[in-house]
Structure 1
């Protein structure tokens, strides 16, 4: 299996390099790893103690962020080093100010991994959610570097629990401790002989609570919403936008819409404008004098969706008619009921929100129209909103538990040295 995995990795690297000629994201993926780790080695000489956090992409970074920020506030003598697998995470957070260095995870090949770890020499490795790389994990174990995996969630269909998953099960044995999101994950790990897990929950609840509590206003959005009922469509794709435009055309209700699509390329923005027959206003072209009279506002830039939810009465979260829904928690942190498509069951928080009435799951236009009409009623929203806020409050606290666990592991290593 190890031999086959190494062949797979060589083919993967070759395929990425060939694809980089035609796909910008693959070009970033390969180019970022060509440079080696000379800069890391140089920066590392200025750090006496290092916490390394690895994230697959941007979503995992947001899960890990409250942990490293809380740890850094308690232990300023440690420097934070961060790696990403995906360019979509690295490109957005490469200038993250809390980190001494941000870079790419090496290809999971012995030479690359050894060069990376010799340059980094972390005191502890933090893996967010379920990033598992057999060669890397084996090397960490051999070097005696503790590995803590947090905000992890495991499902029966994962390869660790299949007959062919031996290599990845073995990699999990290098993890010092798992902080998982649900009881099912504890049971699944125990089923393969791993009892070093703690039910801690999801750090994103702490993160979104902080965002909601410290969210700054956006003057232009305030001018746009006025006293209207506001529906916000966050991280949407074309199927979501078609449902919304049809409801809008058929509804006799008075409301305003903020659309923050997942993709903000010119072609997609033009598609949205076409759906509404041009009766929209782009945020990038808006002026204060135009906003009050506008009814459909398209957010055609990135970076502040989480701040927009404070202006809405309910939300549509995109992705449920595609690969899977996007972030519902940013809306939930403000107590917003959400409307989502049917592909949501891989996301524990969405399952929970559905169970308490905080999420309305729709499968077609009629159900979408009914859900929107229901949430236009203040009394309908109020009861759901209170349940959502209570749920979010009860889910906070994972960050403190995980940081305490990291501290305990570092102390244990220091005492054993």
Structure 2
């Protein structure tokens, strides 16, 4: 296949490098961040298994598989790259034995330097991170590339279709794809992946492993709230917080002791959201500052990282954000797995198949706008039999669809055999 699409892409990216560097500066981890973006890293003494996870969501999804690899290959060094600083923090917190680097900017001199120094036995890319020069560098240096938990939404497919020659050339150099659903797999093939390299394995998000003692810790947290009605809005984006706060104000008019746990998706928004909460006249407590939730607290801002499962488990009802705005939704399985009824907005194109399963099982309630939320929350609080049925259905959906972890582990192991 012609290399011209990649040459044109490289030329355009080179011209845009000053803008790209400015954007990436926001994701700085330490004083070595700029060097890592240029592919300058330290070599590992042990043989390397390299995994790339774009950000927090991919790290959380990849964690079960990466933990299995650490256990089964103790003589190899796990290296995890991310695009974001928040992803880096999750790697350090959840996979402390792994070495972390920021992914280099996708220019051939950067990616060649990175792959040559790292010299991995295998590259595992999670979900949908198709970087043409990075994958070409792996191909040149005979490093197998496996896309694990492969996800390609209809929207992403449409965007990639506009640059199909470039994407097709990239997919021709991918060794194998473990797609999470048939629809995702067929989209990879339609974009140029050779069909024989595709495996439909399911999503390892269903193999979510709850940390030991999580439910007990959530119960203890819940007890500090003295039996108040509690709902959580998890992973909110810009444009969603204010409508959700308006909905909470309506709730307070009917149930004055209701508590909202508000969890912005991105740490750089924590302070701005806190200011918004105060400007709207709510009594606020910030978790990052150790502020206690008192009887007068109306909004608890969860401005921390890595606690989403705990907070979902501690709430009575869970609204999963990224769905009021056309973001595409976030992981609906996290509240379902901990037995918290799941509510979402209309924009779910990143989690279509999971939403279908939860919907058909009766584990998901959907709204078209935030204005519908107060009435739905009150209804669910008043109908414990409905919430109990949603709790059971959510857990059953998660349990029934486990198994992708084992399939993807077997695929990866095939490239690690001596």
TM-score (norm 2): 0.85
Between the two proteins, the alignment pairs up a number of residues equal to 401
Classify 1:24/1:216 alpha carbon distance in 2 versus 1 (closer, same or farther; 3 Å).
farther
Residue 148 of structure 1 corresponds to 146
Please state whether the residue corresponding to 2:274 is helix, strand or coil: helix
Structure 1 unaligned regions, length at least 5: none
Deviation at 1:54, TM superposition (A): 0.8
Question: Among residues 283, 291, 295, which one is paired with 1:279 in the alignment?
Answer: 283
Do 1:63 and 1:203's aligned partners in 2 also have CA atoms closer than 8 Å? yes
Residue 378 of structure 1 corresponds to 384
TM-score (norm 1): 0.86
Classify 1:267/1:254 alpha carbon distance in 2 versus 1 (closer, same or farther; 3 Å).
closer
Residue 252 of structure 2 corresponds to 249
Q: Deviation digits for residues 371-395 of structure 1, max 9, x if unmatched? A: 2122112011011111111101112
Classify 1:365/1:135 alpha carbon distance in 2 versus 1 (closer, same or farther; 3 Å).
closer
Provide the alpha-carbon RMSD of the alignment.
2.9
Question: Among residues 379, 392, 410, which one is paired with 2:416 in the alignment?
Answer: 410
1:179-194 superposed matches below 5 A: 179-191=178-190, 192=192, 193-194=194-195
Do 1:261 and 1:299's aligned partners in 2 also have CA atoms closer than 8 Å? yes
Deviation at 1:29, TM superposition (A): 10
Classify 1:80/1:222 alpha carbon distance in 2 versus 1 (closer, same or farther; 3 Å).
same
> 2:347 aligned with 1:343, yes or no?
yes
Residue 174 of structure 1 corresponds to 173
Question: Among residues 338, 354, 357, which one is paired with 1:352 in the alignment?
Answer: 357
Deviation at 1:179, TM superposition (A): 0.9
Please state whether the residue corresponding to 1:410 is helix, strand or coil: coil
Please state whether the residue corresponding to 2:235 is helix, strand or coil: strand
1:12-161 superposed matches below 5 A: 12-17=16-21, 19=22, 25=26, 32-34=33-35, 39-41=41-43, 44=44, 46-47=45-46, 49-94=47-92, 97-157=95-155, 158=157
Please state whether the residue corresponding to 2:217 is helix, strand or coil: coil
Residue 314 of structure 2 corresponds to 311
1:284-295 superposed matches below 5 A: 284=289, 286-287=291-292, 291=294, 294=297
Q: Deviation digits for residues 71-98 of structure 1, max 9, x if unmatched? A: 1112212210111123332244356644
Residue 217 of structure 1 corresponds to 217
Deviation at 1:161, TM superposition (A): 6.5
Distance 2:367 2:305 in 1: 27
Distance 2:285 2:6 in 1: 55
Residue 8 of structure 2 corresponds to 4
Q: Deviation digits for residues 66-125 of structure 1, max 9, x if unmatched? A: 111111112212210111123332244356644442102222222111111111111111
Q: Deviation digits for residues 181-206 of structure 1, max 9, x if unmatched? A: 11112333344442322221221222
Residue 263 of structure 2 corresponds to 260
Distance 1:299 1:163 in 2: 39
Task: Judge which range, 58-67 or 300-309, deviates more.
Answer: 300-309
Q: Deviation digits for residues 316-341 of structure 1, max 9, x if unmatched? A: 12222222333322211112222222
Residue 229 of structure 2 corresponds to 229
Residue 324 of structure 2 corresponds to 321
